[in-house]
A and B are shown apart, each in its own frame.
Chain A
Amino acid sequence: MPTALSILELSKSYETKTKDRMDAIGSITFDVNEGEFVSVVGPSGCGKTTLLKIIAGLLEPSKGAISFFGVSQNNAMKNIGIVFQSPLLMPWRNALENVLLPIELLHKDKTKYLERAHDLIKLVGLAGFEEAFPQELSGGMQHRVAIARALMHDPDILLMDEPLAALDEITREQMEIDLLRVWEDTKKTILLVTHNIAEAVLMSNKVVILSSRPAIVKKELYINLHGKRGLETRGDQTYVAYCQEVRHSLAL
Chain B
Amino acid sequence: MNGSIFPTIRRYGPSVVVFVIFVIVWQILVEAFKIPVYLVPPPSTILNKILDPSMNWPTQAMTTTYESLMGFGIAIVVGIGTAILIVWSKGFSTIVYPFVITMQIVPKIAFVPLLFIWFGFNYTPRIFTVFLVCYFPIVVSTVAGFSSTEPSMIDLIRSFTSSKLDLLTKALLPSALPSIFAGLKVSVTLAVIGALVAEFVSSTQGLGFVILASQSELNAPVAFAAAALLIVIGFLLYLSIELLERLIVPWKNVVVLGK
Residues on A lying within 8 angstroms of B by beta carbon are: 53, 56-58, 78, 80, 82, 84-86, 88, 90-92, 101-102, 104-106, 133, 135, 153
Contact = CB atoms under 8 A, between A and B. Distances in A.
Question: What DSSP secondary structure best describes chain A's contact surface?
Answer: loop
B159 A86 contact: no
Nearest to B155: A58
**For this complex, into which size category does the number of interface residues on chain B fall?**
10 to 19
A80 B159 contact: yes
B22 interface: no
10 contacts: A56-B155, A58-B159, A80-B159, A82-B155, A84-B152, A90-B170, A104-B170, A105-B160, A105-B170, A106-B161
Contacts, number: 44
B157 interface: yes
A56 B159 contact: yes
B118 interface: no
A88 B152 contact: yes
B31 interface: no
B150 A88 contact: yes
A84 B163 CA distance: 21
A135 B155 contact: no
A78 B159 CA distance: 8
B251 interface: yes
Question: What DSSP secondary structure best describes chain B's contact surface?
Answer: helix
B166 A105 contact: yes
Given A84-B152, A90-B174, A58 B251 contact: no
A245 B9 CA distance: 67
Given A101-B170, A135-B251, A106 B159 contact: no
A233 B192 CA distance: 70
B153 interface: yes
Contacts of B251: 91-92, 133, 135
Nearest to A101: B170
Given A58-B158, A86-B152, A105-B166, 9 more contacts: A53-B155, A82-B155, A88-B152, A90-B170, A91-B251, A92-B174, A92-B251, A102-B160, A105-B163
Contacts of B153: 88, 90
Contacts of A92: 174, 177, 249, 251
Contacts of A58: 155, 158-159
Contacts of B161: 105-106
Interface in B135-165: 150, 152-153, 155-161, 163
Contact of A105 (B157, B174, B177, B249): B157
A57 B174 contact: no
Nearest to B163: A105
A38 to B, nearest CB: 19
A133 B252 CA distance: 13
Contacts of B158: 58
A104 B251 CA distance: 22
A134 B157 CA distance: 18
Nearest to A81: B159
A124 B164 CA distance: 31
Give the one of A78, A82, A86, A92 with max B CB within 10 A: A92
B161 to A, nearest CB: 5
A53 B163 CA distance: 18
A133 to B, nearest CB: 7
Nearest to B166: A105
